[in-house]
Structure 1
Amino acid sequence: MTTVTFRADEQLQRLLVELARPGETRTDTIRRALQEASSFERRERMRLEALALSCDEVDRAESRAVLDDVEGARAW
């Protein structure tokens, strides 16, 4: 495990207090914030990719064709 040290100015200190959950240590708060930031970045990349694909007429046509093929195979 790596130990990271950083200097928190007053604004970051207030932010740490604001973000902390009851009973949570600063380390826990920072660890959770990093995990949440990573998750947010992944979701944002997926959102942007989905947006780009939704504007891609070739991809949309292919998706419609696949959906039409699959629709014929439905059991109900």
Structure 2
Amino acid sequence: MGTLNVRTDEAMETALQALTSGGRSRSEAVRYALLHTYREQMIAQAKADADRLAENPDDQAEMLAIQRFMGVAE
């Protein structure tokens, strides 16, 4: 496991204070915030991909072929 040093400003300190008010350590709060942000980005990317697939029937056929190859679709 690696270590990350971060310089905080007033806004970061305010956010950390809010995230640690429930008993989390500062490290736990930073891990939570990073993972939460990463999850939000992955969801946004999945939505963008779904929108793109909905607009292009050729992409839908390709995605179905890939899913069949991977064994996740019939």
Establish whether TM, by shorter chain, passes 0.5.
yes
Aligned residues: 62
Q: Which runs of 5+ in 1 are unaligned?
A: 67-76
- Please list every run of at least 4 consecutive aligned residues from structure 1 whose deviation after the TM superposition is greater than 3 angstroms: 57-60
Correspondences of 1:20-35 after superposition (within 5 Å)? 20=20, 22-35=22-35
Cα RMSD for the two superposed structures: 2.0
Alpha-carbon distance in 1 for matches of 2:50, 2:21: 33
On the 8 A contact 1:16/1:29 being kept in 2, the answer is yes
Higher Cα Rg: structure 1 or 2? 1
Alpha-carbon distance in 1 for matches of 2:18, 2:38: 20
Secondary structure in 2 matching 1:2: coil
Q: TM-score, normalised by structure 1?
A: 0.69
Give 1:43 deviation, angstroms: 0.7
Counterpart code for 1:37: T
Q: TM-score, normalised by structure 2?
A: 0.70
Cα distance, 1:36–1:21 mapped onto 2, change above 3 Å? farther
